[in-house]
């Protein structure tokens, strides 16, 4: 079972990576862009982005730097903490997400072969696996 979980995870990651390649971004960069869009124009600290990331092992500062270089995000000064860096999404970043939104919707629709009840079972089982780690 564990091997199947790892295999499926890698398969999903590969399919996602393959799709984003055309747009010169990684799934982690996409995750940051979605977090920034969710801020609705309000700046967010890099440390707060890290907390919201799906992949906690990502180097968020490096991801943000790549997005800055691609003009998909921009830095702003943090008024409450001069040492912190705030980030906002640019119009180019919003435009890219608008292009990617239909792809993501199609991607998520692939999973419609699994019923809502089955999806809830899978989620509950995966949660159970992660909870078991905390009890060990």
Q: What is the pLDDT of residues 44-70, one digit of tens each?
A: 988 899 999 988 777 998 999 999 999
Contact 73, 88 (CB under 8 A): yes
CB atoms within 10 A of CB 3: 7
Tokens 């997400």 appear where? Answer: 97
For residues 32-49, give the mean pLDDT: 93
How distant, in Å, are the alpha carbons of 7, 50, 55, 92, 111 from that of 3? 6, 29, 20, 40, 21
Strand ordering across the sheet containing 73-77: 44-45, 85-89, 73-77
As a whole number of angstroms, the distance between CA 66 and CA 115 comes to: 38
pLDDT of residue 34: 95
Contact 60, 46 (CB under 8 A): yes
Q: What is the pLDDT of residues 62-96, one digit of tens each?
A: 999 999 999 999 988 766 666 677 999 999 999 99
How distant, in Å, are the alpha carbons of 42, 86, 105, 122, 125 from that of 39? 5, 12, 21, 30, 32
């Amino acid at each position: 079972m564990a091997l199947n979980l790892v295999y499926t995870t890698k398969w999903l990651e590969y399919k996602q990576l393959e799709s984003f390649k055309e747009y010169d971004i990684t799934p982690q960069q996409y995750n940051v862009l979605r977090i920034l869009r969710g801020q609705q124009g309000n700046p967010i600290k890099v440390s707060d982005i890290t907390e919201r990331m799906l992949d906690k092992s990502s180097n968020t500062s490096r991801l943000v730097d790549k997005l800055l270089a691609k003009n998909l995000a921009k830095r702003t000064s943090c008024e409450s903490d001069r040492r912190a860096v705030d980030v906002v999404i640019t119009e180019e970043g919003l435009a890219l997400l608008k292009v990617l939104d239909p792809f993501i919707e199609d991607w998520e629709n692939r999973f419609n072969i699994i019923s809502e009840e089955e999806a809830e079972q899978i989620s509950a089982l995966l949660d159970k696996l992660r909870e078991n780690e905390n009890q060990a």
